Chains A and B, each alone.
Chain A
Amino acid sequence: MSQLTPQVDLEAYSFEGQESEELKDIDQVSDERKAELRMVGVDLDATRSRAGTFLQFDHSTVHCQSTGQGVEVLGIVQALKKYDGLPEYFWKALDKNHDEFTRAASQQDLHGGYFIRTQKGVKVPDPVQTCLFIKGEKVGQNVHNIVVVEEDSEVHIITGCATSHGVMSALHLGISEFYIKKGGKLTFTMVHNWGEEVMVRPRTVGIVEEKGVLQNNYVILKKVKSVESYPTIYLNGPGAIARFNSVIVTPTGSYIDSGNRIVLNAPNTRGEIISRAITTGGTNIARGEIIANAVPARGHLECKGLILGDGIIQAIPELQGRVAGVELSHEAAVGKIAQEEIEYLMARGLDEDEATSTIVRGFLNVDIMGLPKELQASIDQTIADLDASGGM
């Protein structure tokens, strides 16, 4: 490697004193702020088409509300109080001693995060939106999120993580634990839009029971100093399914080491990891790992990378079959746009830039994530803007 993962100096960030007032009325939020949130999928003007809204600004949970469609949305601190420390869920999927960041997260003040739990048997019709937002320079944000999808229920959670315009440097530590019970389905969409010097160290573990489904989408298109993220999902019940889709763009100066691990622990489980990466000058380590401990079990990893600048894409797909009869496969390709494809579009009258951006948009193909219209439109717009500004 020509570059090493940027190291986090925990001392460099303030974990205290960045409190914000509670927002009783969401209309108090300025239009500018609303626009920042909309870019990561959190639409404060559309709260009526959201089953719940949760907002964390720096060290404070500022807003938390649900519309009673069969899903409970609480701040984590409140939930810990209400449910006697959430003994079944809090630090249960993830080990506090997992690494320096889980240790730091468990030792620092807990600033917030969300607790979202569906009601058994309810398919929550609208998405729940949550936002983990950093407003202050050099803020260290430490949040813990817990999602419980009860038996035979279904919910889509959109989590937008962003820094305010003008914030250059910050640290986000985010612990997330997902529990998907028998027959439950969680669609979890995360969109990142950080400041240029921000360091991001989420740690995520999910446990999926019989016939449960996790569909995870991750989109990061703008410059960030460093993201290191490696959610691990255990498919512990027969027939459980996990699917990861990620779309990652690394401009010059970005270092993103990101991937997913799926552990197939029961018969008839299925795991799929699909990632699309574009570098225009930054570094992307695209990891993926599927481990199969039971049969029959199937897993597929697909990692495609396009190098459009002087960046680096390193695809590291790993497959581990631990019993006879598992079916695991992977496909990885890192390259450039085929001249033939550009010429094809030019023969239809598109100039070289139009042809390139058409191919790039197709390559990123965010459509397959099945996102709400406004979020899809906002992502399309971000891609178009990047394109127009020569970011791609």
Chain B
Amino acid sequence: MLQIENLQVRIGDKEVLKGINMHIEEGETFILFGPNGSGKTTLLMTLMGFAGYEVTAGKIIFKGVDITSLPTYERARLGLGMSFQRPPTIHGLKTKHLVSMCARNRNIDVYAMAQSVNFDKFLDRDINAGFSGGEIKRSELLQLMAQNPDLILFDEPESGVDLENMALIGKTVRTLLDGACDPSPETCMRDLRRRHTTSGLIITHTGYILDYVNADRGQVMYNGVLCCDTRPTRPRDILDHITKFGYKECIRCLN
């Protein structure tokens, strides 16, 4: 699904990513850890192709296409989606209009979709205008449901979310990645999962999201490079490791 080779990225004069290699398989959910300022958000922004993130070396292959220099909307149309942490307010643009635009030519029931994330009452509000932290999360998820991407990038989906909303957001992220998970007489759970090919790349500090999604692999970003790619790659193990020993172990790993 996604293949990143020796990706180096500069913001202004600052070299932030210093040679990232990463691959994410179809249907796989990948967890990215790392201390503040290590370059996690920068990686997601670069994957989306936003201005200001200058790729100085390396390439990004998505679904077999080299997207390193494609404009953002072409990446989105290829099936790349992202949940924004601090999305801008667009005055006069109603949430329901944006949601239906996200679906492009697909037919969706905006209202029913919004109800499933408890967001139907916000459909007539201008997008992100005065939304609280948790409301932004639900709005982003709703847009992604409408967009239906093949790889979804989440930047700290649990930040600023209360416990009750965490369950809703966790379940919605899971649905987005794994599809509707109710087994039916014709299909068992295993087949359902196998048939669904949405991949995820999730940044988390707390790991709360791990209670909800089937995380397959993980790595730690440290100072613009990825480490822990040989040793524990199960996200739970990485989280336990960081919790016990802190990020200093990552430096050892690198040396």
Q: Which residues of A contact B (CB under 8 A)?
A: 338-341, 343-352, 354-355, 358-359, 361-365, 367
Judged by DSSP, the binding face of A is helix
A sample of 17 more A-B contacts (CB under 8 A), given A344-B84, A358-B97, is A341-B88, A344-B87, A344-B90, A345-B98, A345-B101, A347-B73, A347-B81, A348-B98, A349-B73, A349-B76, A349-B147, A351-B71, A351-B73, A358-B90, A358-B101, A362-B90, A363-B92
Closest-CB distance, B140 to chain A (whole angstroms):
10
A362–B87 CB distance below 8 A:
no
A362–B91 CB distance below 8 A:
yes
A367–B143 CB distance below 8 A:
no
Q: How far is the CA of A343 from the CA of B76 in the complex (A)?
A: 11
Closest-CB distance, B33 to chain A (whole angstroms):
24
Closest-CB distance, B130 to chain A (whole angstroms):
15
Q: How far is the CA of A354 from the CA of B76 in the complex (A)?
A: 14
User: Which partner residue on chain A sits nearest B77 by CB separation?
Assistant: A349
A-B contact pairs, 20 of them (CB 8 A): A340-B88, A343-B50, A344-B87, A344-B90, A345-B98, A345-B101, A346-B71, A346-B73, A347-B82, A348-B143, A348-B147, A349-B102, A350-B101, A351-B73, A352-B71, A354-B101, A358-B101, A359-B90, A362-B90, A365-B92
Partner of B93, one of A340, A346, A347, A362: A362
Please, which residues of chain B bring their CB within 8 A of the CB of A355?
Answer: 73
Q: How far is the CA of A367 from the CA of B102 in the complex (A)?
A: 22
Q: How far is the CA of A290 from the CA of B73 in the complex (A)?
A: 45
Q: With A338-B88, A343-B50 in contact, do A359 and B93 touch (Cβ < 8 Å)?
A: yes
B101–A362 CB distance below 8 A:
no
Interface residue B104 (Cβ < 8 Å from any Cβ of A): yes
Interface residue B51 (Cβ < 8 Å from any Cβ of A): yes
Judged by DSSP, the binding face of B is mixed
User: Which partner residue on chain B sits nearest A363 by CB separation?
Assistant: B92
Closest-CB distance, B41 to chain A (whole angstroms):
14
Q: Which 9 A-B pairs have the closest CB atoms?
A: A362-B92, A365-B92, A362-B93, A346-B72, A349-B76, A346-B73, A340-B88, A351-B73, A348-B102
B88–A348 CB distance below 8 A:
no
Please, which residues of chain A bring their CB within 8 A of the CB of B225?
Answer: none
> Which of A343, A348, A358, A364 is the most central at the interface, judged by chain B CB atoms within 10 Å of its CB?
A348
Interface residue B126 (Cβ < 8 Å from any Cβ of A): yes
Interface residue B32 (Cβ < 8 Å from any Cβ of A): no
When each residue 87-119 of chain B gets 1 if its CB lies under 8 Å from chain A and 0 otherwise, what string results? 110111100011001101000000000000000
B104–A349 CB distance below 8 A:
yes
A343–B92 CB distance below 8 A:
no
Please, which residues of chain B bring their CB within 8 A of the CB of A352?
Answer: 71, 73
> Which of A338, A349, A351, A362 is the most central at the interface, judged by chain B CB atoms within 10 Å of its CB?
A349
Closest-CB distance, B103 to chain A (whole angstroms):
9
A341–B90 CB distance below 8 A:
yes
Closest-CB distance, A348 to chain B (whole angstroms):
5
Please, which residues of chain A bring their CB within 8 A of the CB of B88?
Answer: 338, 340-341, 344
A350–B73 CB distance below 8 A:
yes
Interface residue B48 (Cβ < 8 Å from any Cβ of A): yes
Closest-CB distance, B162 to chain A (whole angstroms):
25
B92–A361 CB distance below 8 A:
yes
Please, which residues of chain A bring their CB within 8 A of the CB of B143?
Answer: 348
B76–A347 CB distance below 8 A:
yes
> Which of A339, A346, A351, A359 is the most central at the interface, judged by chain B CB atoms within 10 Å of its CB?
A346
A363–B91 CB distance below 8 A:
yes
Closest-CB distance, B127 to chain A (whole angstroms):
8
User: Which partner residue on chain B sits nearest A365 by CB separation?
Assistant: B92
Please, which residues of chain B bring their CB within 8 A of the CB of A359?
Answer: 90, 93
User: Which partner residue on chain B sits nearest A368 by CB separation?
Assistant: B92
Q: How far is the CA of A236 from the CA of B90 in the complex (A)?
A: 38
A343–B72 CB distance below 8 A:
yes
Q: How far is the CA of A75 from the CA of B126 in the complex (A)?
A: 43
User: Which partner residue on chain A sits nearest B104 by CB separation?
Assistant: A349
Q: With A343-B51, A344-B90, A367-B92 in contact, do A362 and B126 touch (Cβ < 8 Å)?
A: yes
Please, which residues of chain B bring their CB within 8 A of the CB of A349?
Answer: 73, 76-77, 101-102, 104, 147
